Amino acid sequence: MPSVGNQTPRGARPNSLASIFERWNRKLHYYIGLYLLFFVWLYSLTGLLLNHSAWKFQQFWPGRMVSAEERLIQDPAPGSDLDQAREVMRQFGIRGEIALPVGRPTPARLEVRASRPGYNYVILADLSQSRARLETTHVNAWGVVRALHEFIGVRLAGSGTRRNWIVTSVWALSMDAVSLGLIVMVVGGYYLWWRLPRKRAWGVVALAPGVLCCGAFVFGLRWLWS
């Protein structure tokens, strides 16, 4: 079997820029692929699950577990809704990405919705009586893996919502990294293919239908029905 890991482009000196680029482009193609292997598997398989939400084995919502508890709380210090929400969540010992309603009906009422994969929390706090009720919805592993695919902490485009849990930010960063890694692999892969003259023609035969089909979905349909 040929070892193609350290080839030098034809006509290039081993230490020329072209040669270094060639070598590292090839290495990066499989280094990135190997590093991102588990992330790619996760997003691919969960994407498949989301595409086939009717598949029976992955139905997690009917089997969800809901629990509730009510307790006295220490009134959170004056501050933003987010700070107060964090303080109340700390007292319940829960963590997650917080979604606050647009406004509070009265300053004494605080409603907090928070989530992390597998758990959804709703806290209704009555600060005038220093009481709060926490409702927790817990779903099984299928619910967790599906949530991982969508857990970005930004709810609506243009809504101005921002991630408020560091873990969500790290997860979103990993999504960015996986996406950028795949883009680098694809673009680097095009170059690797182009450097194989004997495979160019068949490569065009393989690439062209992909470009045409994809372009039809992204641009063509709109143009066709405009």
Among residue numbers 55 through 114, which ones bind other proteins (CB under 8 A)? none
Segment 21 to 50, residues that bind other proteins, using CB under 8 A: 27, 30-31, 33-42, 44-45, 47-48, 50
**Judged by CB, which is closer to other proteins: 58, or 84?**
58
Q: Is 20 in the site for other proteins (CB under 8 A)?
A: no
Q: Is 17 in the site for other proteins (CB under 8 A)?
A: no
How far apart, in whole angstroms, are the C-alpha atoms of residue 161 and residue 96? Answer: 15
Which residue, 121, 42, 110, is CA-closest to 82?
Answer: 110
Window contacting other proteins (CB under 8 A); options: 8-16, 63-71, 76-84, 168-176: 168-176
Which residue, 38, 49, 57, 56, is CA-closest to 145?
Answer: 49
Longest CA–CA separation in the chain, Å: 81
Binding mask 128-167 for other proteins (x = CB under 8 A): ----------------x-x-x--xx-x-xxxx-x-----x
Window contacting other proteins (CB under 8 A); options: 66-74, 100-108, 132-140, 213-221: 213-221
Which residue, 59, 65, 90, 63, is CA-closest to 76?
Answer: 90
Phi, psi of 83 (to 5 degrees): -65, -40
Window contacting other proteins (CB under 8 A); options: 14-22, 73-81, 105-113, 175-183: 175-183
- Residue 224, both tokens: 């066709």
- Residue 53, both tokens: 């939400």
Q: Is 210 in the site for other proteins (CB under 8 A)?
A: yes
